[in-house]
Structure 1
Amino acid sequence: MSHLKLIKPTASLQDAYMDFYHEWVSSGEEIIPAALRKDPANFDQLVQHLLNIEEGIGLQEGYVPASTRWLVDEKYKILGACNIRHDLTGPLLERGGHVGYGVRPSERGLGYATFILGESLKLLKALEVPRALVTCNDGNIASLRVIEKNNGMQGLPFTEEDGNVVRRYWIDLRE
């Protein structure tokens, strides 16, 4: 995994991002993390929006600063992404957690999600977050394994109004 790194969004990777984005849209799956669901038609504006959110600029009410990172390989192909929330609000404590991450459909099962979460935890530790909350839906076995590989300790689940059970895991960052 030494050929992988998480980078800040940059306008210089527009073609790579569009490839990443269109593959995900074509799959019919919901793009994860949610921060990347925004239409990239005005790519420079999208990148600036993500960078602003990291700095806490222009946040919608109830939102917190969050760092978006793209997982790239040595050729700067975007393999996945994460959104690292610097703090938690009530809804994030219930179902969102500190980190949302996803890997493009054609690159799953290669350990990239485990890498993304591990690197995201380092960023949270640098932000002096003592414990990270990471969540996933009850049936998402792949994500459960990723969280457990990153030392997640299961907390109390949260049941949404529609009956969906959200698993909540805490990861100690004080070590």
Structure 2
Amino acid sequence: METVFLVKPSIEYQAEYLDFYEEWKTSGELIVPWVVSKDPSDFEGMLQFLLESENQEALSENWVPSSTFWLVTASKRVVGAVNIRHSLNEKLFNCGGHIGYGIRPAERRKGYATKLLSMALEKTKELGIGKILVVCDESNIASEKTILKNGGMPDTSFTEGNGNVVKRFWITN
């Protein structure tokens, strides 16, 4: 695994981010976290949206403030993304959690997800979030292992309306 760091989304990483986005779109897989599925064709508009998402006053009702970071290698390759919700509404409490993260398909099984979640937990400390809910689908064994490696303590699962079971874990900072 190459050395990595978290960066705020910026124009500096536009080409690398677009490559990251296109790889994920081409894979046909569900894009996680949801902010990565936001169309980056208006890149500056997307960056503005992500910045405004940190401010409650700029958000629609039922949305909570969130911070997005990209996991970038020393060679400036965007390998992952994380979205940290500053608080939870009912839906996030049941099946979204404080942290949503994902690693681009070509970079999985290299330890990046474990590192990304660990770094995201440091950001939650900075935000003053002491008890963090992290979730994954029951079928996502790799994500469950990542959460457990980062100190996740299992809680009651939540079954969505479509029957999907969401496993819920708490991590204390």
TM-score interval (norm. to shorter): over 0.9
How many residues align? The count is 173
Helix, strand or coil at the partner of 1:47: helix
Which residue is 1:151 aligned to?
151
Are 2:40 and 1:43 aligned? no
Which residue is 2:98 aligned to?
98
Which residue is 1:68 aligned to?
68
* 1-structure distance, mates of 2:149, 2:50: 28
- Give the gaps of 5 or more residues in structure 1: none
- Give the gaps of 5 or more residues in structure 2: none
Q: 1:54 offset after TM fit, Å?
A: 1.7
Identity score, percent: 47
* 2-structure distance, mates of 1:41, 1:120: 27
Q: CA RMSD in A?
A: 1.1
Q: 1:118 offset after TM fit, Å?
A: 0.5
Give the TM-score, by structure 1 length: 0.96
Aligned amino acid, residue 32 of structure 1: V
Q: 1:58 offset after TM fit, Å?
A: 2.2
Task: List structure 1 runs of 4+ shifted beyond 6 angstroms.
Answer: none
* 1-structure distance, mates of 2:123, 2:112: 17
Which residue is 2:28 aligned to?
28
* 2-structure distance, mates of 1:117, 1:128: 16
Are 2:119 and 1:110 aligned? no
Q: 1:171 offset after TM fit, Å?
A: 0.4
Any idea what the Cα deviations from partners look like across 1:14-48, whole Å, max 9, x if unmatched?
11011000000000011110011111110011011
